[in-house]
């Protein structure tokens, strides 16, 4: 049997370019790869509520947006099983048992959660327990599907590590039941954690520094034109800096040599363009226009596909309903295996339990 893939997104908003290069493009490759027999993609609405308890409607309303994003970029519903986390009770059950395998000290050391706590400004008194423990519920998600591979961005490394520790611990106590997963990360470090258009933290729905996959041409242009470059590059002839210059970070991720013959004939490749910018004589507006053309070309095909799917909401409902039914079956099977390994499968085999209870009384 081929490998199993599980990955998820929080329906906190439409998907952005960070998702595209950080995870979606890897998922699209996997669906063409015969080594993978099953791909599950989950809308993590339960996890999204851990920091959105006061406005749950945002999460509910974005489920359809994220589903349309998936389908627009080319995830194929005939290959991928799409499902909704809140409809899978086995995940909460697994989480219930895994909570005992992790210490609060270990949770405190999770660098992604630490950063997110700071960004979200919960303060000392306002940190929800569900948010603090979400790496454990993520381990429940991954293991419930017996996932071998989890295609994610760099911010998820600590979650994969935490999951691996839980698997190791569970299996050493109860026997080899859970599958040890591996993260699958983009090769390019800049894609693995695409920075936001503000040049600050990673592009993130909650921070609001995103270019969305569904962005229209006008707002895409506005966002690219507002990007940070080099604050000391005031006049066109001033020498410019490439490091931490958001426009060049995006060019590093999205630009290919062929883009020069199409949109910027002055240069053959990005190195030539960078050299000119560094010595002075190349203006920011020209660089931004070039980037705009590249990004617009990339996402314009998704806009067309999005329009098509927007007129088929009933079909999308059926896709996710059928996928969730498959996911319920899969995850229920896992929780049965887990409870059997833990010897708490009280009501599946009366003879076994009665015998066991008789033995307990005889000692
Ligand atoms: P939120 O702000 O609600 O946490 P998000 O923008 O961080 O949303 P998630 O749903 O948390 O998006 O992440 C889904 C997947 O996309 C994860 O695998 C994550 O690693 C990846 N991802 C998210 N943002 C980026 C980014 N800027 N660069 C690369 N990968 C990313
Ligand atoms: Mg996130």
Distance 261 CA to ligand 1 centre (A): 33
pLDDT at 63: 98
* Same domain, yes or no: 144 and 253: no
What is the spatial distance between Cα 166 and Cα 99, in angstroms, rounded to a whole number? 9
Q: What is the CATH number of the domain that holds 279?
A: 1.10.240.10
pTM value is 0.94
Distances (CA, A) of 179 to 140, 147, 148, 204, 218: 11, 7, 7, 30, 46
Query: Quick check: is 212 in a domain?
Result: no
Task: Please say whether the beta carbons of 294 and 254 come within 8 A.
Answer: yes
Distance 274 CA to ligand 1 centre (A): 29
What is the spatial distance between Cα 282 and Cα 266, in angstroms, rounded to a whole number? 11
* Same domain, yes or no: 297 and 238: yes
Residues 259-301: tens digit of each pLDDT? 999 999 999 999 999 999 999 999 999 999 999 999 999 999 9
What is the spatial distance between Cα 234 and Cα 254, in angstroms, rounded to a whole number? 25
Q: Is 202 in the pocket of ligand 1 (CB under 6 A)?
A: yes
pLDDT at 283: 95
For ligand 1, atom 19: residue with the closest CA = 153
* Same domain, yes or no: 34 and 175: yes
* Same domain, yes or no: 168 and 115: yes
* Same domain, yes or no: 111 and 225: no
Task: Please say whether the beta carbons of 8 and 40 come within 8 A.
Answer: no
* Same domain, yes or no: 289 and 318: no
What is the spatial distance between Cα 119 and Cα 349, in angstroms, rounded to a whole number? 50
First CA to last CA distance, the chain = 45
Query: Quick check: is 290 in a domain?
Result: yes
Domain termination site, one of 270, 290, 309: 309
* Same domain, yes or no: 285 and 344: no
Structural domain that includes position 66: 3-194+313-359
What is the Cα 273 distance to its own chain's centre? 32
Query: Quick check: is 199 in a domain?
Result: no
* Same domain, yes or no: 153 and 242: no
Task: Please say whether the beta carbons of 193 and 353 come within 8 A.
Answer: no
Query: Quick check: is 155 in a domain?
Result: yes
Domain termination site, one of 289, 309, 329: 309
pLDDT at 79: 97
Q: What is the CATH number of the domain that holds 85?
A: 3.40.50.620
Atom of ligand 1 nearest to the CA of 44: 10
Distance 155 CA to ligand 2 centre (A): 8
* Same domain, yes or no: 320 and 333: yes
Q: Find, among 253, 277, 278, 279, the residue nearest to 266 by Cα.
A: 277
* Same domain, yes or no: 124 and 45: yes
Query: Quick check: is 201 in a domain?
Result: no
Q: Find, among 309, 250, 280, 254, the residue nearest to 82 by Cα.
A: 309
Ligand nearest to the CA of 159: 1
Q: Is 146 in the pocket of ligand 1 (CB under 6 A)?
A: no
pLDDT at 121: 87
Query: Quick check: is 58 in a domain?
Result: yes
* Same domain, yes or no: 99 and 178: yes
Task: Please say whether the beta carbons of 324 and 83 come within 8 A.
Answer: yes
Q: Find, among 93, 136, 74, 6, the residue nearest to 301 by Cα.
A: 74
Q: Is 194 in the pocket of ligand 1 (CB under 6 A)?
A: yes
pLDDT at 349: 93
Domain count, the chain: 2
Q: Is 259 in the pocket of ligand 1 (CB under 6 A)?
A: no
Q: Is 153 in the pocket of ligand 1 (CB under 6 A)?
A: yes
User: Over its length of 363 residues, how does the chain's per-residue pLDDT go in tens digits?
Assistant: 899 999 999 999 999 999 999 999 999 999 999 999 999 999 999 999 999 999 999 999 999 999 999 999 999 999 999 999 999 999 999 999 999 999 999 999 999 999 999 988 887 789 999 999 999 999 999 999 999 999 999 999 999 999 999 999 999 999 999 999 999 998 888 889 999 999 988 999 888 899 999 999 999 999 999 998 988 888 999 999 999 999 999 999 999 999 999 999 999 999 999 999 999 999 999 999 999 999 999 999 999 999 999 999 999 999 999 999 999 999 999 999 999 999 999 999 999 999 999 999 998
Distances (CA, A) of 199 to 18, 27, 202, 279: 13, 26, 8, 23
Query: Quick check: is 204 in a domain?
Result: no
Atom of ligand 1 nearest to the CA of 196: 27
pLDDT at 206: 81
* Same domain, yes or no: 39 and 104: yes
For ligand 1, atom 20: residue with the closest CA = 153
pLDDT at 125: 87
Domain termination site, one of 293, 309, 325: 309
């Amino acid at each position: 049997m081929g490998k199993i893939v599980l990955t998820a997104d929080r329906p906190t908003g439409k998907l952005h370019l960070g998702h595209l290069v950080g995870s979606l493009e890897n998922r699209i490759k996997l669906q063409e790869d015969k080594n993978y027999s099953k791909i599950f993609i989950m809308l993590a609405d339960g996890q999204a509520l851990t920091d959105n308890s006061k406005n749950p409607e945002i999460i509910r309303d974005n489920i359809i947006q994220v589903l349309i994003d998936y389908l627009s970029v080319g995830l194929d519903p005939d290959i991928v099983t799409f499902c909704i986390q809140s409809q899978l009770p086995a995940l909460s059950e697994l989480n219930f048992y895994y909570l005992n395998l992790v210490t609060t000290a270990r949770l405190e050391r999770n660098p992604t959660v630490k950063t997110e706590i700071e960004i979200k400004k919960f303060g000392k008194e306002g940190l929800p327990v569900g948010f603090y423990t979400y790496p454990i519920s993520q381990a429940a998600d991954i293991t419930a599907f017996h996932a071998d591979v989890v295609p994610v961005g760099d911010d998820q490394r600590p979650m994969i590590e935490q999951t691996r520790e839980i698997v190791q611990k569970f299996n050493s106590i109860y026997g080899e039941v859970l599958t040890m997963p591996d993260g699958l990360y983009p090769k390019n470090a800049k894609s693995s954690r695409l920075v936001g258009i503000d040049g600050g933290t990673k592009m993130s729905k909650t921070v609001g520094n995103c270019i969305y996959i569904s962005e229209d041409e006008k707002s895409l242009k506005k966002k690219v034109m507002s990007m940070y470059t080099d604050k000391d590059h005031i006049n066109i002839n001033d020498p410019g800096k490439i490091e931490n210059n958001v426009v060049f970070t995006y060019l590093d991720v999205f630009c290919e040599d062929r883009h020069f013959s199409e949109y910027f004939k002055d240069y053959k490749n990005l190195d030539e363009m960078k050299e000119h910018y560094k010595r002075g004589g190349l203006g920011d507006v020209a660089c931004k226009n070039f980037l705009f053309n590249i990004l617009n070309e990339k996402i314009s095909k998704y806009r067309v596909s999005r329009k098509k799917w927007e007129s088929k909401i009933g079909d999308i409902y059926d896709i996710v309903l059928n996928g969730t039914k498959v996911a319920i079956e899969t995850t229920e099977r896992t929780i049965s295996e887990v409870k059997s390994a833990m010897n708490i499968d009280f009501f599946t085999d009366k003879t076994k339990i009665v015998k066991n209870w008789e033995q307990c009384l005889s000692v």
